[in-house]
């Protein structure tokens, strides 16, 4: 499956991911302006999406979303799935795994911000998809701040 097809199946586009990330962006050394933040975030997103392990984790979330929608996950009733009840934690675990794989502990903290507030495209996605996309954004966002700061302090 091509990258664009996977993103389409997720119900998001690269621009959706970037726009959502910018909704919680805060000025930081190296990413003082939104234009610079978009540039660094886009670069870090491309880097993350170049890793097959990231795609494997994203694919798992897409497959789980599809199977849950179709009632194909044993012992997960449609009400628990649709309402993303507290008993459903596998989605959170997958989001955390993506954020930590991409951005370490800092990625996990950024994931938590996005998961809690659900800005942009996140609010329109299902229980598994919102967490995998939030995990991706969180990890990439953490790297954006780190790389932006490193670029700002490195000699020309």
Indicate which CATH number applies to the domain containing 106.
1.10.3760.10
- Nearest of 38, 57, 60 to residue 49 by alpha carbon: 57
| Predicted local confidence at residue 2, as pLDDT | 67
Over residues 114-147, the pLDDT tens digits come to: 999 999 999 999 999 999 999 999 999 999 999 8
Residue 156 lies in a domain: no
| Predicted local confidence at residue 1, as pLDDT | 54
Cα dihedral across residues 98, 63, 17, 121: positive or negative: negative
Does the structure show a pLDDT above 80 at 86? Answer: no
Average pLDDT over residues 2-6: 74
Residue environment code for 80-112, b if the CB has 16+ CB neighbours within 10 A, otherwise e:
bbeeeeeebebbbebbbbbbbbbbeebbbebbb
* Entry pTM: 0.92
Residue 155 lies in a domain: no
Q: Which residue has the higher pLDDT, 8 or 107?
A: 107
CA pair distance 87, 5, nearest whole angstrom: 31
| Predicted local confidence at residue 134, as pLDDT | 98
Q: What is the average pLDDT score of the chain?
A: 90
Please state the domain count of the chain: 1
- Diameter over CA atoms, the chain: 58
Over residues 31-58, the pLDDT tens digits come to: 999 999 999 999 999 999 999 999 999 9
Residue 17 lies in a domain: yes
Q: What is the residue range of 9's domain? A: 3-150
| Predicted local confidence at residue 96, as pLDDT | 98
Cα dihedral across residues 34, 40, 46, 52: positive or negative: negative
| Predicted local confidence at residue 147, as pLDDT | 84
Q: Which residue has the higher pLDDT, 27 or 8?
A: 27
Q: What is the CA radius of gyration of the chain?
A: 16
Residue 24 lies in a domain: yes
| pLDDT confidence band for 9 (50 / 70 / 90) | confident
């Amino acid at each position: 499956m091509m990258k664009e097809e996977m993103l389409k199946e997720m119900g998001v586009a690269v621009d959706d991911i970037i726009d959502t990330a910018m909704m919680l962006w805060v000025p930081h050394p190296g990413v003082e302006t939104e234009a610079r933040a978009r540039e660094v975030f886009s670069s870090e997103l491309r880097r993350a999406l170049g890793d097959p392990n990231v795609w494997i984790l994203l694919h798992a979330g897409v497959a789980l979303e599809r199977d849950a929608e179709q009632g194909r996950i044993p012992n997960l009733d449609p009400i628990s799935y649709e309402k993303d009840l507290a008993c459903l934690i596998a989605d959170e675990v997958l989001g955390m795994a993506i954020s930590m794989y991409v951005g370490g502990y800092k990625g996990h903290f950024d994931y938590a911000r996005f998961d809690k507030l659900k800005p942009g495209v996140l609010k329109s996605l299902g229980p598994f998809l919102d967490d995998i996309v939030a995990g991706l954004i969180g990890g990439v966002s953490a790297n954006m701040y780190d790389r932006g700061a490193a670029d700002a302090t490195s000699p020309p």
